[in-house]
Amino acid sequence: MAGLTTTRRTALWRVLVLALASVYFLVPMASSVVFTVDVPGRGLTLDAYARILTTEGFVSSLLLSLELAAATITVVLLLMVPAMVALRLGAPRLRPVVEVVCSMPLVLPPIAFVAGLGTVLRWGPDHLAATPFFQTFVAIQNPEFPFVLVLAYTVMALPFVYRALDAGLRAVDVRTLTEAARSCGASWPRALVGVLLPNLRTAVLNASFLTLALVLGEFTVAQLLGFRPFAVWIVNISGSQAQMSVAVSVMSLLVTWALLLTLAFLGGRRPASRTTPRSD
């Protein structure tokens, strides 16, 4: 009887916490939607959403943010996946050190980070004008595709990518899988790509989604460096077109939720089992 009572209390607390969380998230969302569709004197209208695609800068800024997100995800995964697998196989004692290093962007204010980055970008052309590196500094600041933002976002995404990959690696026997692949004649790259990555699919998808969300919502670094991705565009139009800027924010939030559901669906799928015929 006591166990049944405890179970009911636990279920009640879960329902209460879920209800409070729903109110916390849904009330601001509902208020934003009402603000975008309720025009004083005109009633309900969807003009704010209809004008989004035709507004100057929307398509270009969104495409720029998506390109930056794709490049950032590629760079950070190419950097972190091999590094964390090697760390787990060859130097597990260095894990606390790597964890601290990857967590440093969480304690470093973005304004301080971008101030240091801006100082380096200003210092480079002044001191490297007579060297080939001058063109490198110019190229990474190309407004069409500012690769310097990819480098900055890679650093900012390290804490989230590290946590996602670390959780995935903890759930997999990396050493056994690697040794089995090597004993079958697979090279190190083949063992990583063909054996470990399929088992880390959910972790890689989580890391990719967190990086995508960071890039789409980041404002401080891009604004202070003088670039105009999607988040900066939303803030710039908020002064003159507040209703439409909120409508864009609502749409971006819905798109983010759709990506999260897609991630959950892809991460929950299991590859079809294959039966290898035995040769006699």
Would you say the C-alpha torsion 251, 225, 103, 70 has a positive or negative sign?
A: positive
pTM across the whole model: 0.80
pLDDT at residue 278 is higher than 50 = no
Domain around 92 = 43-267
| Sign for the pseudo-dihedral over CA of 174, 176, 181, 182 | positive
pLDDT value at position 274? 41
Residue 125: inside a domain: yes
Residue 3, pLDDT score: 58
* CA pair distance 251, 273, nearest whole angstrom: 38
Residue 98 within any structural domain of the chain: yes
pLDDT in tens, 156-185: 999 999 999 988 888 888 788 887 887 887
| pLDDT score at 158 | 93
Residue 19 domain flag:
no
Residues 6+ apart with CB under 8 A from 71: 147, 150
Of the candidates 136, 162, 22, 138, the one whose C-alpha atom is nearest the C-alpha of residue 84 is: 162
Q: Give the CATH number, domain containing residue 220.
A: 1.10.3720.10
Residue 244, in any domain of the structure: yes
Write out the DSSP string of 12-48: HHHHHHHHHHHHHHHHHHHHHHHHHHEETTTEE--HH
For the ranges 63-67, 198-202, 216-220, the lowest mean pLDDT is seen at 198-202
State both tokens at 136. Answer: 């490198």
Between the alpha carbon of residue 146 and those of residues 110, 143, 198, 209, 226, the distances in Å are: 18, 5, 32, 21, 10
Number of domains in the chain: 1
How confident is the model at residue 266, as a pLDDT? Answer: 67
Tell me what the pLDDT averaged over the chain comes to.
Answer: 82
* Residue 8 located in a structural domain: no
Q: Check pLDDT > 60 for residue 207.
A: yes
Note whether residue 20 is domain-resident: no
Instruction: Judge whether residue 277 has pLDDT over 50.
Output: no
Residue 36 and residue 39: Cα distance in Å, rounded? 8
**Residue pair 250/257 in contact by the 8 Å Cβ criterion:** no
Task: Please name the helix (run of DSSP H) or strand (run of DSSP E) that holds residue 4, with its range, or none.
Answer: helix 2-37
d(CA 116, CA 104): 15
In the chain, DSSP assigns E strands to 38-39, 43-44
Would residue 11 count as lying in a domain?
no
Lowest average pLDDT, out of 26-40, 82-96, 191-205, 254-268, goes to 254-268
Instruction: Give the C-alpha separation, 99 to 219, whole Å.
Output: 26
Of the pLDDT bands very low, low, confident and very high (cuts 50, 70, 90), residue 230 is confident
236, part of any domain: yes
